[in-house]
Amino acid sequence: KAAMNHYEYSMSMLEKEMDARPSKRFIDFNKKIHNNNNSDRVNDLDIAAIQKNLEEEPSMGAMYCNLEYFKFLFNIQKRKALRNNEYDYLCIITISRNEDSNYEPVEMKKSIGDIILVLQKSLRRGDVFTSWNENQVLIMLHDVKENGTDIIQERLTNNLREYTRINSNEIRMIFQPLYSEKTVL
């Protein structure tokens, strides 16, 4: 368990603070840790204990994840949306850097970090998002009601403008239903 906690801490440092992606070797360590943990559970038949072990700590707001995991969740949710007639959306937030604003690379990394913090607090617990590149973020919004995209867009724009140094004219959002045939990752 200590190894897994350290792995998760290291992964968080890589992705959030250094804005780097883990290497294949680093990801393989995760598999080794899981395999070692699973060997203790071979005879575990108590479903309550298994469920407790699977659950993560309750968190407020949306979940940030890496792009590969986002793709995995996206495809699962798209299948569910087709089957259950759910109104899930993919949102793309693009931050258009003006030519006259001088953003240094370090400042841009800090900016995407600030955006991630704002999105974690501004989105709902069932929503998931990831960084697509240094100027774009993908968000998967679950079960959005009638004019929900307008409300979400207004809330996100206001919060991004208020808590980051991004002007509202630099923020562009596109919403597309997940069940649409055009929505592919």
pLDDT in tens, 123-170: 998 899 999 988 899 999 988 987 899 999 999 999 999 988 788 888
Determine the pLDDT at residue 129. Answer: 95
Question: 45 in a domain, yes or no?
Answer: yes
pLDDT at 106: 53
Residue 19 pLDDT exceeds 80: no
Residues 136 and 84 in one domain: yes
Residue 113: which domain range? 63-177
74: in domain = yes
Q: Which residues contact 150 (CB under 8 A, 6 or more apart)?
A: none
3-state secondary structure of 156: helix
In the three-class reduction of DSSP (H, G, I as helix; E, B as strand; rest coil), residue 179 is classed as coil
Type of residue numbered 34 = H
Statement: residue 90 has pLDDT above 70: yes
Q: What value does the mean pLDDT of the chain take?
A: 79
- Tokens 């592919």 sit on residue: 184
Is 88 or 26 the better-scoring residue by pLDDT? 88
| Domain match, 156 and 77 both | yes
Q: Are residues 109 and 149 in the same domain?
A: yes
* Most confident stretch, 12-16, 85-89, 168-172: 168-172
Tens digit of pLDDT for each residue in 28-38? 777 777 766 55
Query: Is there a domain that residue 11 lies in?
Result: yes
Would residue 142 count as lying in a domain? yes
**Total structural domains within the chain:** 2
